Amino acid sequence: AVDPMMSADATVQRAFRFTKKIAQFYLECLNRNSIDDAGKDLVSSVHFSQVYSNAYWSPSLMQMVYGDGDGFILLDFTLSPEFIAHEVAHGLTHFTADLDYVDQAGALNESVSDVLGTMFVQWLFDQSCETAHWKIGPDIVGPTAKQLGWVCVRDLASPSASHSMTVQPQDYESYI
């Protein structure tokens, strides 16, 4: 196997480096040996498709997949450590709760991934709850999105804030 850190591709290096740290976070903080608790290799594909503005856990391939964004609204998803942790968390959910990715179960699946993504960043950068930014994807917000006033994909501290690309209900009473 080729060492990903020997690649000249910064996206490959970031995906590998952050995923390796996520495995360490799972072991140290969650007492889990990878997403299946049996040492499963964490595999990623990068540069998926052309102008692909998303990332996902593929249950059929059993791996994470990252797009490079469009360069305007969203940038390379591996620029965001919380997004990498978010996608790995979908793998964890697959092996534990196996929530269907529809309706309320899908929303819970997304929320768990967001929470684990932000927990990972807090652990990685030794942040307290008070010093953490609680945002998902601020590092992948492109220049056009910034011009529109967006600073993140989601904001866990203020889910209904207009500076988020995907505004969420502030609480369950606001859910329609």
Q: What is the pLDDT of residues 63-91, one digit of tens each?
A: 999 999 999 999 999 999 999 999 999 99
**3-state SS, residue 162:** coil
The neighbour count for residue 66, using CB atoms within 10 Å, is: 25
Backbone φ, ψ for residue 86 (5° rounding): -60, -50
Q: Is the pLDDT of residue 1 over 60?
A: no
What pTM, to 2 d.p., does this model score? 0.93
Residue 172's pLDDT band, with cuts at 50, 70 and 90, is confident
